Amino acid sequence: MIIPKPTTFTLMPGSFALSESCMIELGTDNQEVRCVADYLRSVLAAEPCGLTLDIGVAERSAIRLRLSDELTEAVDPGAPVDERYELGIFDDLIELVAAQPVGLVRAAQSLHQLVLSHLRIDADTRELVGGSVDLRALHISDRPRFGWRGMHLDSSRHFFSVAEVKRFLDLLAAFKFNVFHWHLTDDQGWRIEIDAYPMLTSVAAERAGDEPSRNGFYTKDQVRDVIAYAAERHIDVVPEIDLPGHTRAVLAAYPELSCTGGPFAVSTRWGIHKDVLCLGNPATTEFVERVLAEVAELFQSQFVHLGGDECPVDRWGACVKCQRLVAAVGLTDESELQTWFSRRAADYLVGVGRTAVFWDEVLDGGLPAGVALMSWRGVEYGQRAAALGHDVVMAPESHLYFDYRQTSQGLDPGADWAEPTTLAQVYGFEPTAGLNDPPAIARVLGAQANVWTELIPDMARLESMVLPRMCALAEVLWSDPSPRDWAEFRNRLTTHASWIRSIYNPHESL
């Protein structure tokens, strides 16, 4: 059975033999359903399935995709996206039915996983045994619990190529994640092309002393390519431009945006840096607005993450310009500057039709109305924000920092400054725990795991850090919370170990 566990799952007598003689049939013939058919075709053709199916009118057994008015009528009024779907496997037909195209993609992802977990590959010839995959007849009716099922990736501390990011998106798609939070800027590297500030990429994207392949940036065309690839999988790409702290790379390129004038280098050490954007400088306001304008033009996501974490106020306290601003806008002292800045940046995003999301430090000074909070230091910040009527995404380091070690034994790679986070802990995480008030519970959009890459230099390490923990998180976010049965999940995960290992590089605990 699949991960995340479906809402209902019924085995039936019989089976379907999936082979290259099957067709993919458009039960509803429109452009969006055609796109889903292309997607299904591409994932079945990829290794290790290697099944190339034609799309067309079926004269033989088929996989049929169709949108159903009946399911559409069940969609909550006003809900913009409804991912519900049904998947039926019969003797001569596999049918994927959904209210909306996104549901068909989720159905295709379930089918893909069923095919992967039933593959029998000949060890010598590397070919499919018998030329087909036998799938048990069944019926699945399914819909997700949360609308924000996210994975984060830090492309600053170590750079990941477009091909690697796409491989990561495939992993998200395999377990029905629908948000990719892309951390694009930090002290150790600025990774996105901004036309108005060319030195962000000619200077701020290169960290001295690192391997060339682990430096770099994404051109706007590459970003568009990643967004389109994610969109085919109905994954939203939420960019993060971390402001006003974590900006040493910006200051290396544009030292005039600092309080002291520099000079600075792109940072080669991890941790928190005292040199941050000078908020008393009008050029900083112009910088922030021009960058966000280009980001909003490039990304389609409703949310844009503006960081807001780990910003020391030391430089602001000693800066004439920042102190002048404190007096001019009537603040008590520099400790209130970040809230002032966050409010303005969030307002700017509203002006370009977007919604700001911040790390939870911004809650300390009072969260601007209408912005969302990402709770990382613990769930209590998210709980407070939800009670105040803010949308919240839970990403506590206690359970969902996948750069932390998975076991306490041996040489488990991962951050050694924190306690390990085990698979069982992730599986036991409940995003709404501690909230009793229904309106506050409704503010919890979902959760995500964060993957900071200080100690993750390449894709193999990245995969071994997120797998198998993201399988557990997928189930927390998609499946009904009761009953959640750890032993049953562990057994089910074992049935997927073979295909996961054949494609990815999971942790040895899988």
In the complex, minimum distance from the CB of residue 247 to Zn ion, in angstroms, rounded to a whole number? 12
Q: Could you tell me which residues are beta bridge partners of residue 10?
A: 139
Q: Could you tell me which residues are beta bridge partners of residue 149?
A: 447
> Contact positions toward Zn ion, by CB under 5 A?
259, 278, 280, 319, 321-322
**Residue 200 vs 259, nearer CB to Zn ion:** 259
**Residue 316 vs 401, nearer CB to Zn ion:** 316
Q: Which are the contacts of 20, defined by CB distance < 8 A and separation ≥ 6?
A: 51, 52, 53, 131
Active site residues: 186, 246, 310
Within a 13 Å sphere around the CA of 2, how many CA atoms are in the beta-carbon half? 32
d(CA 15, CA 268): 57
DSSP-derived secondary structure for 324-347 = HHHHHTT-SSGGGHHHHHHHHHHH
- Sheet of 93-98: strand order equals 8-19, 132-142, 85-89, 93-98, 62-67, 23-26, 54-55
d(CA 220, CA 324): 37
**Residue 49 vs 277, nearer CB to Zn ion:** 277
**Residue 2 vs 322, nearer CB to Zn ion:** 322
**Residue 321 vs 461, nearer CB to Zn ion:** 321
In the complex, minimum distance from the CB of residue 308 to Zn ion, in angstroms, rounded to a whole number? 17
In the complex, minimum distance from the CB of residue 187 to Zn ion, in angstroms, rounded to a whole number? 17
d(CA 468, CA 506): 6
**Residue 245 vs 280, nearer CB to Zn ion:** 280
DSSP label of 6: P
In the complex, minimum distance from the CB of residue 319 to Zn ion, in angstroms, rounded to a whole number? 3
Q: Which two tokens stand for residue 149?
A: 């099922």
Residue 15, CA distances (Å) to 22, 91, 233, 397, 423 in order = 14, 5, 28, 44, 33
Helix pair 220-232, 282-298: axis angle to 10 deg: 40
In the complex, minimum distance from the CB of residue 315 to Zn ion, in angstroms, rounded to a whole number? 6
In the complex, minimum distance from the CB of residue 243 to Zn ion, in angstroms, rounded to a whole number? 14
